[in-house]
Each structure stands twice: as C-alpha cells, then as structure tokens.
Amino acid sequence: MGAALRSRPIIPARPKLDRPRSRLIAFPITVLALLVLPVAAGLLGAALPAFGYLPVLGLEDFSLKPFVALLGAPGIGVSLALSLCAGLCTTTLAFLVVTGFVAAWHGTRVFRALRRLIAPLLAAPHAAAAFGLAFLIAPSGLLMRALSPWASGFDRPPDWLIVHDPAGLTMTAGLVVKEIPFLFLMALAALPQVEAEPRLKMARALGYGRVAAFLFAVLPPLYAQLRLPIFAIIAYACSVVDVALILGPTTPAPLAVRILEWQADPDLSLRSLAAAGALAQFVIAFLAISLWLALEWLVARIGAKLTTSGRRFRRDGFLRQLTGVTMSLSAGLVFAGLATLALWSIAGFWAFPDVWPNALTLDTWRHLGASLSRPLDNALLIAALSSFLAVVLALGALEYEARTGGTVTTRALVTLYLPLLVPQIAFLFGLDMLLVALRFDGRLLAVILAHLVFVFPYVLLSLSQPWQALDPRYALIARSLGRGADAIFWKIRLPMLARAIATATALGFAVSISLYLPTLLIGAGRWPTVTTEAVALSSGGDRRITAATALVQACLPFFAFTLAALLPALLFRRRAAMRAGG
C-alpha cells in the first residue's frame, strides 16, 4: 500500500458528494421491512402487558398496577442494583484488560499468540464458560480437589459461598472472561482501520512510553470504533440470564432471572409483572449506558489533561506485566474450565476430593450421539443462512450509504438494537403472536427470520465501524482511474474488508447457534438445534450431560471463527499488505 495513503489526518474529512439515487436502496428497505415489523411486534408484546393489557388472560384495563407490584416485589432494589452493577463492572473490567493488553503488547509475539487463541475463547458459549468456571472454582471444584486433602486439610468441600455469592462477584468474573475475547476481537477487527503503526511510531518518536503512546495516539480513534460493541456488552451483561443462573446470586437474583421466573410461573397473572420487569430491564440498560457515557466524558477530560501535560510515562514495565498476566489469566480460566468440562463429559462417578474420576466412560457421548445428528444439521443450516443473509443485508445497506453519502438509514437501523435491550422471553411473546397470526411460525423461514432479528444487530455492529473507517480516498482514486461504483465495491471495499466481513459472519453464526428460545418458540419445536437439545438436556443438572452438550455447542462457532481467521489470509496470501494489524 502506498505510503502516501497512510499519512492521512487523524480525522478524515468525509468527502461531500451530491446524493445520487441508487437502486441499492432495496437493501435498507428490505432490512427495515423484514425486521422492523417483528421488532415492533416484539416490543409491543413486551410493553402492553406491563400496563395491564393482556386480553387472552382476562387483563383488559390499562393501569400501572404491574409497576406497583414490581416495586413491591421483595428485594427488588437489590435485584436492580445487581443488574446495573453487573453491566457496568463487567464492561469496565473487560475494557481495561483489553485496552491495557493491546496497548502494552501490540505488535509482540505474545500478542500474536493470544490472537490465535481467540477462536476457541469466543466459540465457547457463555453458559459453557460459566459452567467451566463453576466446576473449577466451586468449593467442590477441580481446584479444591487438586489441593485436598493434602494441602487444604478438607476431606469434604468447605462450606464457602463462592459461586452464587450475594454480591454477584463470581457472576461478574464469569462475564468478564467471556466479554474480554469479544472486545479483543472487535479491537482486532478495528486496529487495521485506525492505522496504529504510524501513530505509534510518531508517539514513540516523541518519547512516550509504549503504553502511553498507544493510549494517547491510537486509543481515541480505536475507542470510537469500539463504542457500539461496548454498548452491546453493557446491555448484554445487564440482562444476562444463563450466566446469572449458573454463577449469580439467588437471594435475590439479578432482575433478568427474576423476570424469567415470573414469566415461567404457572400463575399466568404474573405475566404482567414480568412485562413490567422487562421494561425496568430496558431502563436499567439505558441507565447503564448513560452512566458509561458520563464516565467516558470524565475519562476523556482527564486524558486530555494528561496528553497536554507533557509527561511521557516511560516507566510502564509494571503495567505491561499486569495486563499480560490478567489477559493470560482470563484466557487460562476459560481454557481450564473447558478442559474440566471435557473431563466431566467422560467421567464415571467422581467423588470429592478425588482429582480424577473413578472410571472413564463414553456413556454420555454415546447417549448424546444418537440424538444429535439432526439437531446438528438444523443448527448448521439455520446459522449459515441467517448469518449469510445478515451480512449481505448489512453490506448492501452500508454500500447504499457509501454511494448516497448519507447516514440516515444506518441511524434508522439503530432501532434494530432494541431487541438486545429487552429480555428475550418478554420480547418473543409478541413476535411469536405475530408469526402465529400470520400462520408463519414453525417454518424454516420463520426461524431464520427470528434469528435474523438477533443476528443482524451483531453483524451490523461488527461491520459498520470498520466500514466507515475505511479511507474514502481509496474509492476516490479508483474512481479517478475510471472504475465504476460496482467495481469499487467488489474490487476495493470487499477485499480490504475481508477480515471484518469474515469476522462479522462468524459472529453472526455464533449468535445464531446460541439462540434457544427463538428457535424453540418460533420454530414451534419443529427445528431442534444443538442448543435447544443442550438447554433441555442440561436442565436435568447432570454434570456429564451439561459438560458434553456445552462442548458440542462450542464446536460449531469454533469452526466458524477459525475459518474466519484463516480465510482472508488464504484468499489474499499474495497480497501481504492486506494483512494489516497485529
């Protein structure tokens, strides 16, 4: 790549184009048509019962009673606080570790090594990572077994409240170790776009320490690209259910878990309470994001002061060690957890404090093997189609904007993030009703559409920042060489964004694989996937089954992420300059 192109100013000026029409308008329109109706139906279905309207259960008067009931629910304050804290603490910790690590280790061997580990880390579903962590650190977990009784003196597990601790510390830890790889992936996808190398060189030349050079010169544009993923993490951590069930407090539980309980209560009148809770969940996510923005403002102010203070922060050795250790520790925890799961999946009876099971057996896998082949096919089909569709639609919408020079449609697409802020169970009720009324549920297309509602936001999220950060002057040069808009798209944008596109596809694939309730409810049970099987099976609480199904669930996204990492490198092996970043 020409050196001249690299020396662009930090904030590129968007070229002012008159706004030509484009037939690509079909893409944003398709997206809005396909997704807005389901999202609106879902949101209405979640909101109306909160105001006392659910005619099928005899609730027909609008009122605020459900909210009064919500505020009167025992321990509701603690539940709300737990959700808010989980969202903010998880995001803060994951952000600190990832930026710290990237700042301190960018361009080193350690960095490249961890980059290679990212596929398995990302692929492990949240629930699998949480189970792994629990099986590892609980008082009866593998760590304690390894230490007992010779070092600890325990011949029975100590009565320590580690997992399910009332403050939710273990839950937050479980979330942090899973969000770190996600944020790291997003940073990896964004790094090539912010031209880290020349910025770093300039800052180092001015005498700044390694970490400081990164924080002052690269982080600001990088952070701009990480913002949406960070919001997604906040919203996710505020409303997470599976990790909270496995590791979180129980007396009381975080809000999302309690909503699930109300929604699942046989007493159908509690549905309105659950709906009110869902709206509260929405508010919590919003509040958390606002608090994050306030924090962001504060840090930016402090950062600006530090930048102009003239200090060079050259002695950052301790910080480098610290970030390296925390990053490796967090990855190590996930891997150790997965290894523990693998061991459990072949364990016979395994008493405490034995470090190794009594016997090894393939019984669990044999039981599973027979029942998993069709669910495997279904999962693959649904995930491949929905992630492909999502990427095509997202690219089409982005290209439309590039050609017309607007951002209106992408702003409209932001509404599609709303489903991520509302608890799935509350949201799906309305969506299901819509599809049932259209006699459309239970079909493959309906399942894919429902998956698209959840997959598309993540795909757009991971695509739009790298897309917008691509230097527009590449297109200008191509144009001045006489190439048309289509050629620019196929020959310039697509290849240059290959890594980001592959990453987005893999992410969409992984999201689709992990969806349980949409597959079950919208698919009307006609399309069992590995995840519907896994969730149903692990509700029995047998560690062997739980472990084996979690590993199966991790396999498919693992292949997707590995492929995403290898494919761009293979496709462009003759074009070394495309291998940007790292």
Partner 1 sequence: MFRIFVAVSALFFSGTVHAKTPDPENWEAVVAEAKGETVYFYAWGGETRINAYINWAAGEVKERFGVTLKQVKVADTANVVSKIVAEKAAGRDENGTVDLVWINGENFVSLKEADLLLGHPWATKLPNYRFVDEEGKPTVKTDFTVPTDGLEAPWGMAKLVFFYDIARLQSPPKSMPALLEWAMDNPGRFTYPQPPDFLGSTFLKQALYELAPDPQVLMQPADDETFSRQTQPLFVFLDELHPLLWRQGRAFPQNYGTMRRLLADSEVDISFAFNPADASSAISAHELPDTVRSYVPEAGSIANSHFLAIPFNANAKAGAMVVADFLMSPEAQARKQDPNVWGDPTVLDVAALPEEDRARFDALDLGVATLPPEKLGLALPEPHASWMERLETEWARRYGAGQ
CA–CA dist 444, 513 (Å, integer): 15
Closest distance between partner 1 and the C-beta of residue 173, in Å?
A: 16
Closest distance between partner 1 and the C-beta of residue 5, in Å?
A: 54
CA–CA dist 199, 559 (Å, integer): 34
Which CB, 189 or 347, lies closer to partner 1? Answer: 347
Instruction: Using alpha carbons only, give the angle 288, 517, 88 rounded to the nearest 5 degrees.
Output: 15
Closest distance between partner 1 and the C-beta of residue 183, in Å?
A: 30
Q: Which residues pair with 54 in a beta bridge?
A: 59
CA–CA dist 57, 426 (Å, integer): 15
Which CB, 47 or 535, lies closer to partner 1? Answer: 535
State both tokens at 267: 């007493």
Closest distance between partner 1 and the C-beta of residue 362, in Å?
A: 12
Going 131 to 137 to 140 to 146, the CA torsion angle's sign is positive
Which CB, 192 or 518, lies closer to partner 1? Answer: 518
CA distances from 310 to 99, 206, 216 (A): 22, 10, 12
Closest distance between partner 1 and the C-beta of residue 259, in Å?
A: 12
Which CB, 100 or 523, lies closer to partner 1? Answer: 523
Tokens 């990212």, located at residue:
118
DSSP secondary structure of 43-91? HHHHHGGGGT-BGGGTB-S--SHHHHHHHHSTTHHHHHHHHHHHHHHHH
Query: Are 228 and 115 in contact, with CB atoms under 8 Å apart?
Result: no
Which CB, 368 or 391, lies closer to partner 1? Answer: 368
Closest distance between partner 1 and the C-beta of residue 130, in Å?
A: 13
Closest distance between partner 1 and the C-beta of residue 265, in Å?
A: 7
Query: Are 252 and 81 in contact, with CB atoms under 8 Å apart?
Result: no
Closest distance between partner 1 and the C-beta of residue 277, in Å?
A: 14
Which CB, 160 or 297, lies closer to partner 1? Answer: 160
Closest distance between partner 1 and the C-beta of residue 429, in Å?
A: 6
State both tokens at 51: 């105001």
Determine phi and psi for 440, rounding to 5 degrees: -120, -10
Mapping DSSP onto H, E and C, the string for 173-193 reads HHHHHHHHHHHHHHHHHHHHH
Which CB, 163 or 234, lies closer to partner 1? Answer: 163
Cβ-proximal residues to 268 (8 Å cutoff; 6+ apart), any chain: 57
CA–CA dist 422, 238 (Å, integer): 10
Which CB, 43 or 200, lies closer to partner 1? Answer: 43
State both tokens at 445: 């297309």
Instruction: Using alpha carbons only, give the angle 454, 459, 465 rounded to the nearest 5 degrees.
Output: 135
CA–CA dist 242, 582 (Å, integer): 33
Closest distance between partner 1 and the C-beta of residue 525, in Å?
A: 3
Tokens 């802020």, located at residue:
421
Of 453, 456, 444, 455, the residue nearest 523 (C-alpha) = 444
Closest distance between partner 1 and the C-beta of residue 245, in Å?
A: 7
Tell me which amino acid residue 472 is: P
Closest distance between partner 1 and the C-beta of residue 164, in Å?
A: 4
> Per residue in 122-144, is it b (16+ CB within 10 Å) or e — as a string?
bbbbbbbbbbbbbbbbbbbbbeb
Cβ-proximal residues to 366 (8 Å cutoff; 6+ apart), any chain: none
Which CB, 60 or 486, lies closer to partner 1? Answer: 60
In the three-class reduction of DSSP (H, G, I as helix; E, B as strand; rest coil), residue 347 is classed as strand
| Radius of gyration for the chain, computed over Cα atoms and rounded to the nearest angstrom | 25
Which CB, 78 or 391, lies closer to partner 1? Answer: 78
- How far is CA 29 from its chain centroid? 26
Which CB, 57 or 329, lies closer to partner 1? Answer: 57
Closest distance between partner 1 and the C-beta of residue 209, in Å?
A: 45
Closest distance between partner 1 and the C-beta of residue 401, in Å?
A: 36
Which CB, 266 or 482, lies closer to partner 1? Answer: 266
CA–CA dist 202, 579 (Å, integer): 21
Which CB, 263 or 553, lies closer to partner 1? Answer: 263
Which CB, 18 or 155, lies closer to partner 1? Answer: 155
DSSP secondary structure of 215-233? IIIIHHHHHHHHHHHHHHH
Tell me which amino acid residue 578 is: M
Which CB, 132 or 209, lies closer to partner 1? Answer: 132
Closest distance between partner 1 and the C-beta of residue 84, in Å?
A: 17
